[in-house]
Amino acid sequence: MGGQLFMGGEDSALLLGDEAVALAALHAGASISASYPGTPATEINEFVRLLNDAEGLGVHCKWSPNEKVAYEKALGASIAGARAMVSMKLVGLNVAMDVLMNSAITGVNGGLLVVVADDPGMHSSQNEQDSRELARFANIPCFEPRDQQGAYDYTRMGFDLSEEYNLPVMLRITTRLAHSRSEVVPHTPLERTNFPVAERGRAMLLPHVSRQRHKDLVERVMPDLTALVNHAPYAVSENDALGPLGVISAGIAANYVEENFNQSPYPHMALTVVNPLPDQRIKDFALRLIGNKVYNLLVVEEGYPYIEDGVRNILRDFSGFNIYGKLTGHLPRTGELKPEFVREALGLDPLPNAGIEVPAELLKGRPPRLCTGCPHESTYKVLNAVKKQVDIPIVTSDIGCYTLGYLPPLNAIDTCVEMGASIGMALGAAEAGLEHVVAVIGDSTYTHSGMPCLLEAADGNLPITVIILDNNTVAMTGFQPTYLHGDDLVRNVIGMGVSPEHVKTMKARPSSHEDNVKILRDEVEYKGTSVVIAEGPCIHAARKSL
């Protein structure tokens, strides 16, 4: 990977969807790439960091403690006059919702691109929420590119649109695009130039200001954007085929449709702008179908029936017209979209296959597991030993490699909900009257969202024990750096208000098992807030840094 290839412009490169976004942001002159690690978005900022290091670009691409901080950083940079990108996984947007919603009211100065990677089928997530709904909720434009080239092109366009309409712009991708590699032809990079800082009051949302801005957003800006996308060539791609059924798709779903068309296409409208929806063009498409005596329309998309709902609303006055999709059972309502599901919905026979019927008993699941030698395993064994001596009614836990401690044979933890829930829920369980509640949280999860929970627990000296797994890395997502480790973490925990004599450190390794059982048991039995830091390096992170 050389400087010429990526920053000189014209050659083509094989890039993951995530990498295409990263490259495009740099080529669009972004000076800030803000992010928190989260599959399938992690590789966006990783690639920015790789290129930044290799080429000495001077771009700010530090990992923030959480997505709210990352988005706030991007907004601040935008108001200051720079182009900024913030990227995150689907649930990361939940963490940044406050700033997302309000950044639509403040507006932007330098272009602000919000890249969200959804995960239909939950390859690595707790749910499969659809970020397009949140773009609509926030009243910001949303692009949904179809392929890796589109991920590059629409990222660049997103910054321009953001500045033209004074709004953050969302770019929504899914796992299959984020983590799929294909050829991308970059365009000439822009020089990085900043605007002057925004005028005073731009980012001030006292109610009397917000009322006017919100009114303007919904009554003028969104209708203007709708008019734009009803004409812009980049919003919609449409063929002129005839067929028994019309199809409207969005993003990569268009590929699954075209894959099945092979040599015989049906009328197909592929959307790449999904908020606002190009309503007039959708109506025109329906009219074209009706003109050819076709009254059936299939909507194909990855995620919630978001386009389908929108199309139903747009075509509500078209009587005698049938709209099919996830809501009618023609496509699966949940899980990841696959080309064979689309094939069936199009009314085509399945492709013949080799007819190999593997006996079910030969194929076993291989669930993910902690690596051999992982420090979390020693810690969980200590916890399990203490559970035999003290009645621990619930072990609340959190998100990371350590979540795998739920599975057999460890069965060490009981809950995992979202970032920081371990300590938060432990507080609630203690207030509900449970004694000896234990929360297990990772070091990066702690700095992401655990700290305010510990503050509350310590203030009331609630009888919970928090085990912080300090492996000095954000492991599951690819070994990104953490903020607090070792003595810094101890000082922080004491700073949160936990009494120093109940902040203990144990070495997370088998040889310390007996000592650790004693340390943990003492703190679990203590009727107040205690923290036990289980310190031990991730076996892979150590290798990666070599």
Partner 1 sequence: MDGKKDIIIAGVGGQGILTMAKIIVGAAFAEELKLKQPEVHGMSQRGGAVYTHVRLSPDYVNSDIIPAGAADLIIGVEPMEALRYADALAPDGMIVSSSVPVENISDYDVGGVLGFLDSLDNVVLIDSNQVAIAAKNKQGQNIAVLGVSLPYLGIEREVIEGVMEDIFGDKGPDVVAANLRALQMGEEAGAVYRR
Taken in order 444, 449, 453, 455, the sign of the CA dihedral is positive
One-character DSSP codes across 287-353:
HHHHHTT--EEEEE-SSSSHHHHHHHHHTTT-TT-EEESTTTTSS-SSS---HHHHHHHTTPPPPP-
Residues 55, 284, 340, 435: which binds partner 1 (CB under 8 A)? 340
277, 285 Cβ separation under 8 angstroms? no
Site membership for partner 1, residue 371 (CB under 8 A)? yes
- Distance, CA of 16 to CA of 22 (rounded, Å): 10
Residues 137-156 that bind partner 1 (CB under 8 A): 147-148
Q: Which residue, 177 or 437, is less far from partner 1 as judged by CB?
A: 177
Stretch that binds partner 1, among 57-65, 241-249, 357-365, 375-383 (CB under 8 A): 357-365
Site membership for partner 1, residue 345 (CB under 8 A)? no
Residues 439-478 that bind partner 1 (CB under 8 A): 476-478
Residue 492's contacts (CB-CB under 8 Å, 6 or more residues apart) are: 451, 484
> What's the min distance (Å) between Cβ of 128 and partner 1?
14
Site membership for partner 1, residue 256 (CB under 8 A)? yes
Site membership for partner 1, residue 252 (CB under 8 A)? yes
> What's the min distance (Å) between Cβ of 476 and partner 1?
6
Residue 449's contacts (CB-CB under 8 Å, 6 or more residues apart) are: 66, 95, 419, 420
Q: Which residue, 183 or 224, is less far from partner 1 as judged by CB?
A: 183
Helix axes 97-106, 207-216, angle to 10 degrees: 80
Site membership for partner 1, residue 405 (CB under 8 A)? no
Stretch that binds partner 1, among 128-136, 253-261, 301-309, 522-530 (CB under 8 A): 253-261
Rg over alpha carbons for the chain, rounded to the nearest Å, is 26
CA 431 to chain CA centroid, Å, is: 32
Q: Which residue, 25 or 184, is less far from partner 1 as judged by CB?
A: 184
Site membership for partner 1, residue 179 (CB under 8 A)? yes
Site membership for partner 1, residue 407 (CB under 8 A)? no
Site membership for partner 1, residue 255 (CB under 8 A)? yes
Q: Which residue, 157 or 374, is less far from partner 1 as judged by CB?
A: 374
- Record the tokens describing residue 475, joined without a space: 């492991």
25, 85 Cβ separation under 8 angstroms? yes
Q: Which residue has the tokens 């492709």?
A: 351
- Distance, CA of 442 to CA of 446 (rounded, Å): 6
- Distance, CA of 420 to CA of 444 (rounded, Å): 10
Stretch that binds partner 1, among 78-86, 290-298, 358-366, 524-532 (CB under 8 A): 358-366
Between the alpha carbon of residue 417 and those of residues 402, 465, 538, the distances in Å are 13, 18, 23
- Distance, CA of 122 to CA of 120 (rounded, Å): 5
Site membership for partner 1, residue 363 (CB under 8 A)? yes
Sheet holding 322-324, edge to edge: 236-238, 268-271, 246-250, 296-300, 322-324
Stretch that binds partner 1, among 279-287, 365-373, 494-502, 516-524 (CB under 8 A): 365-373
Site membership for partner 1, residue 370 (CB under 8 A)? yes
Stretch that binds partner 1, among 36-44, 290-298, 386-394, 503-511 (CB under 8 A): 36-44
Site membership for partner 1, residue 259 (CB under 8 A)? yes
Site membership for partner 1, residue 542 (CB under 8 A)? no
Site membership for partner 1, residue 367 (CB under 8 A)? yes
Q: Which residues bind partner 1 (CB under 8 A)?
A: 14, 39-40, 42-43, 123-124, 147-148, 176-177, 179-183, 252, 255-256, 258-260, 338-340, 343, 350-356, 358-359, 361-371, 401, 404, 476-478
